[in-house]
Amino acid sequence: AEVHVAIIGAGSSGLACIKTCLDEGLEPVCFESSDDIGGLWRFKENPEPDRASIYHSVIINTSKEMMCFSDFPIPGHFPNYMHNSLIMEYFRMYADHFQLTRHIRFNTKVLQVKQRSDFSHSGQWDVETENKDGKKERHIFDAVMICIGHHCHPNMPLQDFPGIHSFKGKYFHSRDYKTPEEWRDKKVVVIGIGNSGGDIAVELSRVTKQLYLSTRRGAWVLNRVSHNGIPLDLTFSRAVNFVLNAIPFGLYCSLGERQLNQRFNHSLYNLKPKHRLFSQHPTLNDELPNRILSGTVQVKPNIRKFEGSSVEFEDGSVVEDVDLVVFATGYRFSFPFLASHVISVSGNQAPLFKYVFPPELDRPTLAVIGLVQPLGAIMPISEMQARWATRVFKGCNKLPSVAAMLKDVQCKQDTMAARYVTSQRHTIQVDYISYMDEIAELVGVKPSVPRLLLMDPRLGLSVMLGPCTPYQYRLRGPGKWAGARQAILTQWERVTQPMQTRPCDQPQCKCSFVTDYDFIIHGLFASMCLGF
């Protein structure tokens, strides 16, 4: 019998789910409330309610070889760090190549997802949808995959900022920021030093009279450009990961902090936080130190209160005539179409087994895909989760007992609480290689490095010493891809290609296994020192 799967959302996770369902012989129907694919990555001038929204200049923080879907490399001529328009171009190429769009119903909002009366036997769901003309429909599905991401509802903690409601300037959440032009020669305060806060502060500081960056805790700031000009996340290899897991957490942090302070002294720049380097999601920003050094960005503590058009900070300093305040204060997620007993969300936490399955359902036919915040790229993680979930739907993979799943959920929560600063931001953190391997093992696609070293030494060395690119998870098992070996052996060519835009007299470095071998030295140094 055909297994019909409802997929909610056609962003990067939704596209991966459609493709994975088709690979496994399932029948997907994807409901997308807007008129196009892309989710978070599709720039729109006017943000829509309860939808993620980005600003015009957004460039992704993960490099192309680490963020691509595992059987569809990003073209060699695309830059390593891509602008949102190029990410959309890649998604369209992916959707066209695998003919995914025909399975999407655009302008269709999911109103309700409800267990059927015979759920304990059938595992089926009633899904109610509404199209743009207001026409409602009911559908029956054998399984449901939720792919709405975690950038749904802007977190605006206005209660923590006395006087904000009578503030004479303008204020909005970072999702409503689009371009800097209208703030030329104005005074602007940006609250929050996450990746959006840092990027918006830098961009605005080029046109504003003065930009103030307000941060409660400070932050460790990492560079996208790592040793030898290599993208930072490409320094993340299996060998490096093995060594780092063997080092005590405190030593690991100390090495990284020392290296970051050699680039610029975080105390001198007023950024040094109380917490350790790996106790917070890192801020990647190559330009912030330069803007602070040129005085166009001033780092300030938390805001005590607003009064008229002035802002008073907790150190007693006051800035008069502030024109704009941008709240780069993150997001909250929720599942408004689900009953709270199916998945309860509290304090930005949802108790899900491996961040995917609600552990206490009678039948494992509901999966949440992409509800993680990785130290690395989200796209391959969503794809891996989808590969696992579809195998569970088919009965090829079994989930453990409810007690075992609840224990795993609790264990992950405890580990996160012990490592990270308490914050709504740190409830769904995962480390890229560890988490990918954990899910890959369940699917049966985790690469066997010893076997590869024995059977195919060149490939084995690339897998062990080179970056942990997604192609590694297509070498064996369900969903094995014949092009995976070649994709791994040519990954360095795709890294260098977009930069070869001028003939050079110097002999070109032939990037191959030799690069990967050399890479272990640089990778160990960079990753021990720069983390990621």
Q: What is the CATH number of domain 4-152+332-442?
A: 3.50.50.60
Mean pLDDT of 450-476: 97
Phi and psi, residue 224, nearest 5°: -65, -35
The whole-number pLDDT of residue 333 equals 87
The whole-number pLDDT of residue 422 equals 63
Name the packing angle between helices 238-246 and 513-530 (round to 10°). 30
- Model pLDDT for residues 40-73, shown as the tens digit of each residue: 999 988 887 777 789 999 999 999 999 999 999 9
d(CA 409, CA 270): 37
- Model pLDDT for residues 310-351, shown as the tens digit of each residue: 999 999 999 999 999 999 999 888 899 999 889 988 777 789
Residue 401, pLDDT > 90, answer yes
Specify whether domain 156-330 bears CATH 2.120.10.70.
Answer: no
The whole-number pLDDT of residue 532 equals 39
The whole-number pLDDT of residue 102 equals 98
Give the pLDDT band (50/70/90) at residue 150: confident
The whole-number pLDDT of residue 320 equals 98
Mean pLDDT of 421-439: 78
Mean pLDDT of 281-310: 96
Give the pLDDT band (50/70/90) at residue 529: very low
Evaluate whether 110 touches 128 at the Cβ level (below 8 Å).
yes
- Model pLDDT for residues 193-232, shown as the tens digit of each residue: 999 999 999 999 999 999 999 999 999 999 999 989 999 9
Token pair 């959707």: residue = 95
Q: Return the higher-pLDDT residue of 74 and 275.
A: 74
DSSP state of 69: B
The whole-number pLDDT of residue 332 equals 87
The residue ranges of every structural domain in the chain are 4-152+332-442, 156-330, 447-530
129's enclosing H/E stretch is strand 125-131
Strands (E), 279-355: 283-284, 297-300, 303-307, 310-313, 318-319, 324-327, 331-332
Percent of the chain whose predicted confidence (pLDDT) is above 70: 93
Computed over every residue of the chain, the mean pLDDT equals 92
Contacts for 417 with CB less than 8 Å, ≥ 6 apart: none
- Model pLDDT for residues 356-371, shown as the tens digit of each residue: 999 999 999 999 999 9
Residue 456, pLDDT > 70, answer yes
Residue 527, pLDDT > 70, answer no
Closest-CA residue to 56 (of 193, 205, 153, 175): 175
The reported pTM is: 0.93
The whole-number pLDDT of residue 513 equals 42
The whole-number pLDDT of residue 516 equals 54
Give the pLDDT band (50/70/90) at residue 278: confident
- 3-state DSSP call for residue 281? coil
Residue 508, pLDDT > 60, answer no
Least confident range of 250-259, 415-424, 493-502: 415-424
The whole-number pLDDT of residue 50 equals 75
Q: Do domains 4-152+332-442 and 156-330 have the same CATH topology?
A: yes
Give the pLDDT band (50/70/90) at residue 518: low
- Paired with 8 in beta bridges are 31, 146
292's enclosing H/E stretch is helix 288-293
The whole-number pLDDT of residue 421 equals 65
Mean pLDDT of 242-265: 91
The answer for 525, left when phi > 0, alpha when psi is -120 to 50, beta otherwise, is: alpha
Residue 514, pLDDT > 50, answer no
